[in-house]
Amino acid sequence: MEVAVEIPKYNLNEEQERKEILRHYRALLRALKTKLKPGDKEMIRTAFEMAVDAHKTMRRKSGEPYILHPLSVAMICVEEIGLGVRSTICALLHDTVEDTDISLADIQREFGGEIAKIVDGLTKISNVLDTNTSQQAENFKKILLTLTDDPRVILIKLADRLHNMRTLDSMKREKQLKISSETVYVYAPLAHRMGLYNIKTEMEDLAMKYMEPDSYKYLAQKLNDTKRERSRYINDFIRPIKEKLEQGGFDFEIYGRPKSIHSIWNKMKKKGVAFEEVYDLFAIRVILNSPPEKEKEDCWKVYSMITDEYTPSPERLRDWLSNPKNNGYEALHTTVMGPQGKWVEVQIRTKRMNDIAEKGLAAHWKYKEGTNDENRFDNWFHQIREVLANQDTNSIDFLQDFKVSFLAEEIYVYTPKGDVKMLPIGASALDFAFAVHTAVGVKCIGAKVNHKLVPIGHKLRSGDQIEIITSAKQKPNSEWLNFVVTTKAKSKIKDSLKEEKRTIAEEGKYILQRKLDGLGAAMSYQNMEELANFYKLASPLDLLYEIAVKKIDLKELKDFTVAGEKLIAPKPPLSPPKGEDKEKMEAKKHLQKDAELIIFGESSDKIMYTLANCCKPIPGDDVFGFITQGEGLKIHRTNCPNATRLLSNYGHRVVKTKWVKNKEISFLTGIKIIGLDDVGVINKITNLISGELKININALTIEAKDGLFEGNIKVYVHDKDELEELVEHVKKLPGIESVDRFDTE
């Protein structure tokens, strides 16, 4: 949902706008044509008219009539997710209860309980990730509760978010960053988990367009420039395979599909290679029209034909036919050596599998009708319900745990009897024990993986067979939290630790009671909170626990005063800073005196700040300000490793930021140079930097090996332009292979 603005005046004349709205509406009806049953058209018409009337005075940030947003969301639901009539009605009405005079009772009266329930779910999460931190994660919990109630809620929410991403241009810069970060952090992984690969990919690409605009433009341009050459290569690659498949009598489609900009960028960063060296810029897809009973057999036959023509890479075979992914994805992937010595990824699947890969959950329902097939989604929802039942989790931890447990790729492991369990990548033997049963988890002392004894923290790999060893004397300790990644294991360990803590804390309660009685103070929650604050503890439970285990002996109680029965803590004396602290304060003052000035918002206020150590921004970088707890304002680059987490989890603490030119201050940054180890090459580089460009070098380290050298040079620059000019000049020197910026320590 986006904030709607009421604008009484129209940009286009009313008649043109009316025609535009009707054009969208008719297109929606055409898309639904095959799904319409008697009476459906009238219901859709009623929902459309209700939405038009409810939103009639509202406009989007772009100035267009607001009703075009619900119409577009409904169209995405139908065309791209494969949902039907009921979901269309819900999509048309998804913002009405939140933003207009229409109530849930009106919707229930007009369309019945099922539709009202979904609209209610959408209303509950419409302001998701839009207020303070704990509220954001609380709202995310709400999404998941409604998801397990009726998964259509989340599918419509994903369509809503996708349309907002497609129309993000008219938003302010800080809003673009915030929405893009949330999308990459939560919504894209959720779309992936629901089996909606195309939507996940588009969300990631659009988010990158706003978060890393330079890299996005560079790659989009590169892909465009190499399009013709790629098409020619794909045609050459496909020709012999096509002939073989035709001779084999297969009914098939075969085509090349470009990889997403985001995945190419990830590959370049992960492997540290240039665009030209990323071999899989595209994938070849073979889609077979096979009857259900022959699907697997046909896919393997096609695999055999392809690998007869081109040599496969053995470690790059992915068999999701025998073991579909948790989100229902089935296919056979292989990477083969194509013409001109290029590796090419080939994906083989049937029409049914392709539907599921593109429409995810909605396609699952379509193919599930009339079969007893146990749905992997149902299994997944059941696991989520189990975790949500435990309401005692800190919301931010919950969001992080959820990403690791439920949105990560999974591995397949086996019980001693051969039953399959699915766990996220990175899961340990202890995670497996809790997946079997909580009672097994809390008593786990070790495991046998493939008949070899391993400790509880042993990381599992796909295909492992695990037998858990338990002991009646075993009980969880806080270290166990470092060994597990699944939310179930974490929450059960925390429950167990809390229970033990409560038992021990009972002893502390008696000790404190006696001390307070002696002072004439009450054993009240307020007094315990006062003491917990004084001892800098998180809660009264922690206070009682620390008293019980003799970490606190309460000797300071003599300094407290008692008013009535209420304890009043003594005020700490004000002491001058110690030597080291004094130095730090002086350094801070000095830094603030010389600080580069930054303009915030529209008011051009000049505010003091510090630069984040994780990404070391310099003037000219695309940055945002972040209000920290205790350290004031910190400036981060938008492509900082922590940016996505900060922007999506703490959006309310983000401040719009831009640089002011100030040539007086220099910033330390670094460049990494790789090139041929030639005589005098170092001399040429230092002459260029210090002599020609007059840039001050702070440190220089060079390592040469096997005819190549790698140099890390720390330099002082005034801004990003100066750094880019330096990089360009160094690149032009003979024998230089690559020059990249790195973040200095």
- Which residues does the annotation mark as catalytic? 98-99
H or E element that contains 700: strand 696-705
Calculate the alpha carbon distances from 707 to 599, 678, 679, 735 in Å.
48, 8, 11, 11
Single-letter residue type at 487: T
Cα atoms found within 13 Å of the Cα of residue 315, Cβ hemisphere only: 0
Q: What is the DSSP string of 565-595?
A: TEEEPPPPP--PPPHHHHHHHHHHHHHHHTP
Cα–Cα distance for residue pair 356/362, rounded to 1 Å? 8
Distance from CA of residue 389 to its chain's centroid? 23
Q: Which of 46, 93, 40 is nearest to 66 (CA)?
A: 93
Q: Which of 392, 425, 571, 593 is nearest to 497 (CA)?
A: 392
Distance from CA of residue 92 to its chain's centroid? 27
Pull the structure tokens for residue 245. 């498949």
Q: What is the DSSP string of 357-377?
A: HHHHHHHHHHHHTT--PPPHH
Cα–Cα distance for residue pair 362/588, rounded to 1 Å? 57
Q: What is the DSSP string of 44-107?
A: HHHHHHHHHHHTTTEE-TTSSBTTHHHHHHHHHHHHTS---HHHHHHHHTTTHHHHSS--HHHH
Using alpha carbons only, how large is the chain's radius of gyration in Å? Answer: 31
Helix, strand, coil share (%) of the chain residues, nearest 5: 50, 15, 30
Cα–Cα distance for residue pair 115/542, rounded to 1 Å? 47
Q: Which of 266, 277, 272 is nearest to 343 (CA)?
A: 277
Dihedral angle, C-alpha 96, 100, 103, 107, nearest 10 °: -30
Pull the structure tokens for residue 606. 């000049």
